[in-house]
Amino acid sequence: MRISSKLYATLTAAVLVMTMGSGAWSAESNVDTVVSAATNPGAEAVRNIALAQQLAQYARANKDALLMIAAAKLTKEASARDSKREKATESASAAGSAAAPAPRAKPGTALSRTDQDAVSAILNEARVFAGGRKDLLAMIDEVSHVTRGAVGGPKRNYDIVNARTNDLYRVNYRGRELAAAAIITGGNPALFLQVFDEYGNPVCTDRYDGTDSLLCRWVPRWQGSFIIKVGNFGSEEGEYVLLTN
């Protein structure tokens, strides 16, 4: 697998590069441009899970058991809560969708329906890559028994978006606190992530760049609802996992 410079920087420096929506903001836009000025444990957990997915992707390509173990530990400590969110749908050609050509579909990594299954799947891959090494197998066993993180982690929702369709979720976020939304795509290049505020102002867009997860972070000026859009330009349905704080 070709590792982009962005992915390499993410893995080595643990920094996620985000592409914020461009253009002029309306006076009613509920977003602050200074992301670093606010914090929120749930938002950091969303970022860590997205990072873990990229770490696992790199480990999978290089058959690296140690990095796969680290990805499992990071995922488990984030302590995502499985949930089922109500959603609306619209045509992917509807106004406001990310303007991009429909990429050719390709097989992706199968996604786990629950957080516990996701951790188990990563550790199972680590066991294969360990090749019988007792030290690595001991580390895998240790992570499998690590206590999950604090109660109240990010919400995790497994779903499937139909071909040429956008799934829309309305999520409330607190004002002056870091907000985050991410999707795990399994490497499907047809999926994209967008966030809009309650007035329809674009907040963030993230598209496939070779990684298995997409991430948006922002700071609302006041408590309000945001639309999380999971879009699919492809000719086949695509599974995904949505994470929000």
Q: Which domain holds residue 184?
A: 13-244
Query: Using CA of residue 236, residue 193, residue 85, residue 91, what is the dihedral sign?
Result: negative
Q: Do residues 173 and 203 touch, judged by C-beta distance below 8 A? A: no
Q: Is residue 192 part of a domain?
A: yes
Q: Is residue 5 part of a domain?
A: no
Give the C-alpha distances (Å, rounded to integers) separating 121 from 39, 58, 75, 188.
Answer: 30, 15, 11, 19
Q: Is residue 34 part of a domain?
A: yes
| Non-local CB neighbours of 130 within 8 Å, separated by 6+ positions | 65, 136, 137, 140
Q: Is residue 213 part of a domain?
A: yes
Q: Is residue 3 part of a domain?
A: no
pLDDT tens digits in sequence order for the chain, 245 residues long = 444 444 444 444 333 323 333 334 444 788 875 666 678 889 999 999 999 999 999 999 999 999 999 999 999 999 899 999 999 999 987 544 555 544 544 445 678 888 889 999 999 999 999 999 999 999 999 999 876 655 567 999 999 999 999 999 999 999 999 999 999 998 999 999 999 999 999 999 999 999 999 999 999 999 999 999 999 999 999 999 999 99
In the sheet with 191-196, reading across from the earlier edge strand, the strands are: 88-91, 165-173, 224-232, 191-196, 202-207
Work out whether strand 81-82 and strand 155-161 pair parallel, antiparallel, or are unpaired: parallel
Q: Is residue 92 part of a domain?
A: yes
Q: How many domains does the chain have?
A: 1
Q: Is residue 175 part of a domain?
A: yes
What is the tens place of the pLDDT at every residue in 231-245?
999 999 999 999 999
pTM value is 0.81
CATH number at residue 163: 2.60.120.380
Q: Is residue 8 part of a domain?
A: no
